[in-house]
Structure 1
Amino acid sequence: MMSPLLIKLLEIMPKKVRVALVRKGVRGYIKKYADLEVNGLENIDNAKGPIIFICNHLSNADALILHELLKDSDPYFVAGVKLTTDPVTNFGMEMVKTINIKPNSADKEAMTNIVKTVKEGNNLFIFPEGTRSRTGAMIEARKGILLIVRLTKATVIPIGISGTEKVLPIRQDGDMGGERWQQGRVKVNIGTAVSLPAKEKDEAKHDYEDRCLTTLMKSIAKLLPESYRGVYGEER
């Protein structure tokens, strides 16, 4: 949590200086608070680009930690426009390449920008659930990811992250800028590329889309401890 004075000082600084200071601060927080374990980085090296990274979402720490881990891939992060309205979270947005999207709406401009960015050869990172889980367990994903995958034909790499909900917990009052870092263990598992299944004969479009979305989300779920899998547990 930043003091009002520090926020004001950062706001009046040149952006280049502010970004450098925030990046240094974030790296310091990650090193201090997150006991980090990472598995599967070789799966990125073996993948053909461009890549769409998909991951479960627990905390505002997710993108900050994953941005550091994936810096060699340098992906654009798809992020809710709400993050730009709070000065603290906006500082984080400035240090990450982002494409802003309006949640819970058919944001055609953002979708066009996303597809164009990937088709130009850039990597992309998206949280298909669209928001942070308040329980730590996976919630229903939104179907926008299917359109992106189909239109770009990019390689999809799943990532499962756990523990960030304890390192930077969500505040119940919704004050993202007031969230405080805490000590905790964070585990990141990077999986192998996942493909959408073929459509079965006479399969309804709605059923096929549900099956495709479940395939993508279960590729994330299998990288997580069982208690984190939520609606994408084994019974689905």
Structure 2
Amino acid sequence: MHRLVPPVLRAVWRPTVHGLEHVPRHGGVILASNHLSFVDSVVIPVVAPRQVVFLAKSDYFTGTGLKGAASRAWFEGLGMLPVDRDDTRAAIKSLDVALEVLGRGEAFGIYPEGTRSRDGRLYRGRTGVAHLALTAGVPIVPVGLTGTERVQPVGSSVPHLVPITVRFGEPIHVAGRFEGVPSGRARREVTDEVMAAVQRLTGQVEAGVYNERPVDA
């Protein structure tokens, strides 16, 4: 699936991609992106030069029958792992899973905003991305997506072929930079550095506040 799906989707979507040289081809790395649409977790693995693991709602993996099997094969083929977002301990479990992925020398994708932006602004980053990088000692590659919010606008039942641009920024290295710095301060500084890099890639207006997931999302 992973050998087949990305080339096919690239041929259909024809996304514009910049900065692929910034993504390390080997070793643990975090790809930290802005979040505009549910398709972001498809677009990044499709254009990245290596397989990227994202977390996805566990509902996508538990369906029955032919449709359930197809959904499971699709998301597993793109390298996604299930997480129960309704579990109060899901955030901790997600970090543990991410550290396992990074410990195997793989690439892990994350959205520091926590949930997708519904107004197009860039929201303040949560510090989980910094915790992962500082704990695992891996670099963070900022990613800027533009256009994905138009793939399937609210009220549309089918995806649209629209121009999409993906920009990979220069890696942010954290190993050895924060020795002696209180952990909370280090996580905040790293996260703010990542979000500033993402903003430069996208040009989004900064919201200055955290984004909250709607109750019915």
Do both proteins adopt the same fold according to a TM-score greater than 0.5, normalized to the shorter chain?
yes
Q: Does 1:209 align with 2:187?
A: yes
Question: Which stretches in structure 1 are left out of the alignment for 5+ residues?
Answer: 1-18, 173-177
Higher helix share: 1
Query: Which residue of structure 2 aligns with residue 151 of structure 1?
Result: 135
Q: Alpha-carbon deviation of 1:54?
A: 0.9
Deviations 1:88-111 (A, max 9, x none): 865642321123334474433332
Equivalent position to 1:75, from 46, 52, 69:
52
Give a deviation string over 1:77-131, Cα, whole Å, max 9, x none: 1234355467586564232112333447443333222212211212211122222
For the pair 1:65 / 2:65, whether they are aligned, the reply is no
The match for 1:93 is 75
Given the superposition, is the C-alpha separation of residues 206 and 156 from structure 1 closer, same or farther in structure 2, using an over 3 Å criterion?
Answer: closer
SS in 1 for 2:208: helix
CA distance in 1 between partners of 2:97 and 2:179 (Å): 31
Identity %: 19
Larger Rg computed on CA atoms: 1
Query: How far off is 1:187 after superposition?
Result: 0.9
Letter in 1 for 2:19: G
CA contact (8 A) 1:160 1:223 kept: yes
| Cα RMSD, aligned residues only | 3.3
Q: Count the aligned residue pairs.
A: 200
For 1:190, which of 168, 172, 180 is the aligned residue? 168
- Any stretches of 5+ residues in structure 2 without a counterpart? 210-217
Moved over 6 A (4+): none
Q: Structure 2 length normalisation: TM-score? A: 0.74
Q: Secondary structure at the match of 1:222?
A: helix
Normalised to the residue count of structure 1, the TM-score between the two structures is 0.69
The superposition leaves residues 133-172 of structure 1 with CA deviations (integer Å, 9 ceiling, x where unpaired) of 1112222332222221122111211110000001222x37
